[in-house]
Structure 1
């Protein structure tokens, strides 16, 4: 078990309260979650655990990631917020990933996955963002998408059209997300959208912790 203990490292961003009844040591679970979100497929952590004498299934690894219920921490007060959306494919269907990032820290502030993109859904996203962070004084950086601008106007939030510069913070994160999701067919095939959204929120928490 000493080998597993040495794998614990810096994983304070992973809340392991859910493992009360798990027969797998907490350091091993934290290691597997971090390894998977950081770039390994579901199969790789299983092989790593096997080397340590711990036999677990792909489903067990998947369930740990879901049960951890990780997402970006709240309580930030950004000066600027890069707001954008991109298409994520799940089971050959298109979904829209909304994301808000702080360009000064490159942290993801909030992400959500929706089945379509409308002004009303953007308003829901903004309300959730306002509940999590102090954004009233922030300037939102958006592209020419009219529904984003309309939703911000309705919410009484300031915004600027910006196609380059600080708004590229969220674009860089999107590129990494798309690279990751396209390489893991087992993550976004044969899953429910809620499962994909949970993985994406876990990715956001990991991204912020290692940024």
Structure 2
């Protein structure tokens, strides 16, 4: 889990466009969002806020995270991009979380949640990654999955079949996400896929701020 003592940084990187309609002071909302995305459950987050004199429900903090609409920033120029997908349990169904990571910095470049994994889906993910970042000259690090390699071929991207090494960056991210979603299983219960994807993108934003 991400270390609690790393939360002492400035929360000013979180830009909120809705606080004028909220009764909670903006600094408290930013702290609540930051605490939850850094590893605290919704229950623990509201307990911390209560100690600061801010009494809010868990659903309120969850709503703050959703409305903040956080996601990794664009414009990166990585030399390598590790790409992989992993299963995310959403209610009783399985979805596939795709992630692109810069293994030199461990920063998440792009994340998306899809109901399946195919060459077409992977190609769509790579298209969005190319639009968001300058990755055409990067070397993509992939495993033996045929849909990953075929999508790279389709886009004319250089890639290497790597099992370990620099690909460990994306595996570390997936382990952290698995730990979070297993420990706080209510995160993806009774929610729409778009809500889960919004949380995962917010997690990616927070991950990049705290690494």
TM-score by length of structure 2 reads 0.94
Please give the per-residue CA displacement for 1:125-180, whole angstroms capped at 9, x wherever unaligned: 01110110000100000000000100110011110100011011101111111011
Partner secondary structure for residue 191 of structure 1: coil
CA RMSD of aligned residues (A): 1.3
- Structure 2 equivalent of residue 127 of structure 1: 127
2 CA distance for matches of 1:204 and 1:44? Answer: 21
Q: Cα offset for 1:181?
A: 0.7
**Runs of 5+ unmatched residues, structure 1:** 1-6
1 CA distance for matches of 2:75 and 2:9? Answer: 26
In the TM superposition, what are the counterparts of 1:180-199 in structure 2 within 5 Å?
Answer: 180-199=180-199
- Structure 2 equivalent of residue 141 of structure 1: 141
Q: Cα offset for 1:53?
A: 2.2
Partner secondary structure for residue 113 of structure 2: strand
Q: Cα offset for 1:40?
A: 1.0
In the TM superposition, what are the counterparts of 1:1-150 in structure 2 within 5 Å?
Answer: 9-150=9-150
1 CA distance for matches of 2:8 and 2:175? Answer: 29
In the TM superposition, what are the counterparts of 1:150-161 in structure 2 within 5 Å?
Answer: 150-161=150-161
2 CA distance for matches of 1:108 and 1:25? Answer: 30
Q: Cα offset for 1:15?
A: 1.2
TM-score by length of structure 1 reads 0.94
**Runs of 5+ unmatched residues, structure 2:** 1-6
Q: Cα offset for 1:45?
A: 1.7
Q: Cα offset for 1:51?
A: 2.0
Partner secondary structure for residue 12 of structure 1: helix
Partner secondary structure for residue 169 of structure 2: helix
